[in-house]
Structure 1
Amino acid sequence: MGKTKFENKVIWITGASSGIGKALAIALSHYNCKLILSSRRAAELQLVKQQCLHPENVKVLTLDLAHYSEMESVVDRALTFFNRIDILVNNGGISQRSPIIETSIEVDKKLMEIDYLGTVALSKALLPHFIKNKSGYYVVVSSLMGKFSSHYRSSYCGAKHALHGFFDALRLEHSKDHIKVTMICPGFVNTNIARNALTGDGSEQGYQDDMTENGLDVNTFVKKMIKAMRKEKFEAYIGQFEKFGVYVKRLSPRLIHKLVMRSKVK
């Protein structure tokens, strides 16, 4: 499948103001599709829009995933732009870096509200539209941490694991409606995710770690992500050596435990 996979489609991307979402929006703008870009930051979204190939085919819609009770009205607004939505890329979210013993339950709650409940609420609000059209495609940016866990990411791992449980069920229930789901599982990608990650008291970490700094270039990642979307894969593991952790976990949960324990992940 080539560019025709996305031609004339309406694609809605959350978390589109930076990182993976920004790079994905710019890449997809070359595919003769229409885009809706969302995040909390309107000014940054406008800058991304201007970097797209055909900005006249791009609409900006601010949303805060933490306000998950508002998602039905957000979907209503989104549908006014092009009268339909074909693909929802659930990319918005935050990460966390802190030992469990030092992590406030409020941080766990915030990660679940944004990374899980916000994503689920938005997807559920759009679901009747997909059912009505007998067509729809959810692309969910999870993480390799949704398949196995690592140090100092307990809240993040919990939220990402939860996403897999929900969207596997959605895929099962709505295959009859021709609704598809792809779970994108990044490893280390060189974005600001570590800088913006919450620490145990809820403040931002504010600095990059070596593993993230040396991760995949974001544009390289997006090319692989688009390839997975073309193929409508159930799951795609995109990273460097760390992606093999998924297969090791299947083979031996004890072995992946030992390997992660020996790693220098911070």
Structure 2
Amino acid sequence: MSFSNSVIWITGASSGIGEAIAIELAKGQNVKLILSARNEEALQQVAERTTLPASNVLVLPMDMREVRSMNEHVAQVLQQFNRIDYVFQNAGVTQRSSVVETDLAVYQQLMDINFLGAVALTKAVLPHMLTQKSGHFVVTSSVAGKLGTKQRSGYCASKHALHGFFDSLRAETYHAGLRVTMACPGYIRTDISMNALDASGRKHGKMDENQLNGIRPEEYAEKLLRAVSQQKEEVYIGGREIAGIYLKRFLPGVLSRLLRNRDAT
């Protein structure tokens, strides 16, 4: 896996999957990283953990909901590094609430962060990549991007939307030299369930057992980067929950029965 001499932008880089990707990319490679999330202090700590020279890391705080600022962020990156080779889009939030109870504003927030923010950043970066005739978007979807489960209706919808958008982008830009990898993680041992939105938009504040027993973010990052280096179009990484994707494809009735009878978390 060689990403040396590449300029790589990572969103959601302050913790979890994004942090693990940043640290894995920096191992023994001459890369330049842009680290983005809302928490600047946490980003600075991740930058230090990469052990890269300070000149090779740009800490760029960013809120995915502020879509009108994306062009400004891209200009800042280009001023610093002159090019953008990879964009790893990891920023996102999930939910733990039923359809009947969930406030419409929660659905809006889920779509703004998980889908429209990724679209806005992509559209801001895209003209540059088309000009340089190369570039690779790596987008964190989820097993929930391939099927629907209880208590996650808005999260699933936002992740399904990512597939529709980025599959279309791949078809449009492949012959221009651009690549798209859709990553579908299963349960990864991060705080995503702790930060999930409840029906009113407050934090769920609980660690799901499945999340606690998921694979380590470092293991996920290593497998993801191997798939990206091989220019895989779609990759599934996790435990036995990955089987749900194949059940959805080949035995949808069986999956439907399993999902309606399982516990929501």
| Pairwise CA distance, 1:105 | 0.4
Give the deviation of 1:69 after TM superposition.
2.0
* AA aligned opposite 2:121: L
Q: Distance in 2 between matches of 1:195 and 1:78?
A: 31
Q: 2:48 matched to 1:50? A: yes
1:263 is matched with which residue? 262
Determine helix, strand or coil for the equivalent of 1:100: coil
The count of residues paired between Structure 1 and Structure 2 equals 263
Choose which of 16, 21, 31 in structure 2 pairs with 1:19. 16
Amino acid at match of 1:190: R
CA distance in 1, matches of 2:41, 2:211: 26
Q: Which runs of 5+ in 1 are unaligned?
A: none
1:1-266, aligned counterparts within 5 Å? 2-3=1-2, 6-30=3-27, 31-56=29-54, 57-266=56-265
Q: TM-score, normalised by structure 2?
A: 0.97
Which residue identity lines up with residue 112 of structure 1 in the other structure?
Answer: M
Q: Provide the rounded CA distance (Å) in 1 between the counterparts of 2:194 and 2:58.
A: 28
Query: SS of the counterpart of 1:183?
Result: strand
Query: RMSD of the TM alignment (CA)?
Result: 0.9
Q: Report if aligned partners of 1:187, 1:242 keep a CA contact under 8 Å in 2.
A: yes
CA distance in structure 2 between the partners assigned to 1:23 and 1:147 by the alignment: 24
SS state at 1:193 partner: coil
Q: Could you say what secondary structure the match of 1:101 adopts?
A: coil
Deviation at 1:109, TM superposition (A): 0.4
Amino acid paired to 1:176 = H
Partner Cα distance (1:9, 1:217) in 2: 25
Q: Secondary structure at the match of 1:232?
A: coil
Deviation at 1:129, TM superposition (A): 0.4
Which letter does structure 2 place at the counterpart of 1:63?
M
Shift, 1:265, TM fit: 4.2
How big is each residue's C-alpha offset from its partner over 1:35-71, in whole Å with a ceiling of 9 and x where there is no partner? Answer: 0000011111000000012142111001100111221
Deviation of the 1:142 alpha carbon: 0.6
Query: 3-state SS of the aligned residue for 1:88?
Result: strand
SS of structure 2 residue aligned to 1:160: helix
The answer to whether the 8 A contact 1:49-1:55 is kept is no
What SS does structure 1 have at the residue aligned with 2:84? coil
* CA deviation profile, 1:125-160 (whole Å, cap 9, x unmatched): 100000000001000001010001111000100000
Hey, what's the Cα distance between the residues in 2 that align with 1:86 and 1:135? Answer: 7
The two structures have a TM-score, normalised by structure 1, of 0.97
Describe the superposition over 1:68-106 as per-residue Cα deviations: whole angstroms up to 9, x where unpaired. Answer: 122111111111111111000011111111111110000
Tell me how far apart the structure 2 counterparts of residues 55 and 63 of structure 1 sit (CA, whole Å): 22
